[in-house]
Amino acid sequence: MNRRGSRVGYAVCLIATLLIANAVQAQSTPATPTKTPAAAAPPADEADALFTRWDTDHNGALSPAEFRAGWHQLQAEAELRRLHEQFVAMDTDKNGCLNAAEYAHLTLIKNAGTSAPPMSMFDTEKNQCLDFKEYVTVVDYMLKHEHK
pLDDT per residue as tens digits for the range 1-25 = 444 455 455 555 555 555 555 554 5
Q: What are phi and psi of 42, to 5 degrees?
A: -65, 155
Model confidence, pTM: 0.62
- State how far the Cα of 123 lies from the Cα of 134, in Å rounded to an integer: 7
pLDDT per residue as tens digits for the range 118-145: 999 999 999 999 999 999 999 999 999 8
Neighbours of 97 (CB within 10 A): 19
